[in-house]
Amino acid sequence: MKTDRNDESRVWGDYPNWDDVARFDYGRRMWRDPEMRTRLLAHWTDERHPHQERFQEHRALVEEALTSELAAGRLDDQFRARHTSLRCVAREIPAVFGSFFR
């Protein structure tokens, strides 16, 4: 059990931002459903979405994080080898809101 907490702390820090963790965990769950993935992509790329441009800039990393079957610690290791982290990538997962999410 201690190892799990050490891995969690290594990925998310000593004081995790639970919004980041939730975006990653729930984003992964929703991404697995092809219909929901289509809806998310349509929403995030919609010109009305306030973070549409930012999503486009980081889309490859976001999709890699959401698609990966690796545990958070292993995925974080891969991102760190490329000079980023799972924590940084999770912050780039856009929120879902607005009346235009269909």
pLDDT tens digits for range 36-77: 999 999 999 999 999 999 999 999 999 999 999 999 999 999
Q: What is the pTM of this model?
A: 0.89
Say if 98 falls within a structural domain: no
Q: Cα–Cα distance between 86 and 98 in angstroms, integer?
A: 26
What range defines the domain where residue 34 resides? 18-90
29 burial class (0-12, 13-18, 19+ CB within 10 angstroms)? exposed
Sign of the torsion formed by the C-alpha atoms of 44, 50, 52 and 57: negative
Say if 76 falls within a structural domain: yes
Say if 6 falls within a structural domain: no
How many domains would you assign to the chain? Answer: 1
Say if 3 falls within a structural domain: no
Say if 54 falls within a structural domain: yes
Say if 52 falls within a structural domain: yes
